[in-house]
Amino acid sequence: MIYTNCESKHIDDGVLYQAFVGAFNAMIENEDYFVEKWQERLESNNLLQRYKAKQFIEIITEYKPIAEFDIGIYFALVEKVSVHAEDRLTINLLDGTEVEFVIE
């Protein structure tokens, strides 16, 4: 078996923090869209979907745009961050929402 070195590029933590701040603020700016989406899930037969929808609505309606990375909000909302290229990330939220972020 032959092993090769990983070819992935290093992404600085600051870039990941910036991506989350941008994604979160975009959700705040589009609060009506997201709240409506999550309110529909409050009627779901899936208990976990209802719980996450309620939690997400509380967070989005309670907070204002953020200027700095907030680890508490991050862990309440984010499932994973996928790096697709040197300049593009996808933030996957725990409810299945995907938010794309372009690194400048």
Cα 40 to Cα 26, 35, 46, 98, 99, distances in angstroms = 20, 9, 12, 18, 19
pTM, to two decimals: 0.81
- Mean pLDDT, the chain, whole residue set: 87
Residue 39 and residue 48 in contact, taking contact as beta carbons nearer than 8 Å: no
Per DSSP, the three-state class of 42 is coil
Report d(CA 74, CA 36) in Å as an integer: 21
pLDDT(7) > 70? no
pLDDT(95) > 90? no
Identify the CA nearest to 88 among candidates 68, 102, 74.
Answer: 102
Give pLDDT tens digits for 38-49: 999 999 899 988
Query: pLDDT over 90 for what percent of the chain?
Result: 57
pLDDT of res. 11? 75
User: Mean of the pLDDT values across residues 73-91?
Assistant: 88
pLDDT of res. 67? 96
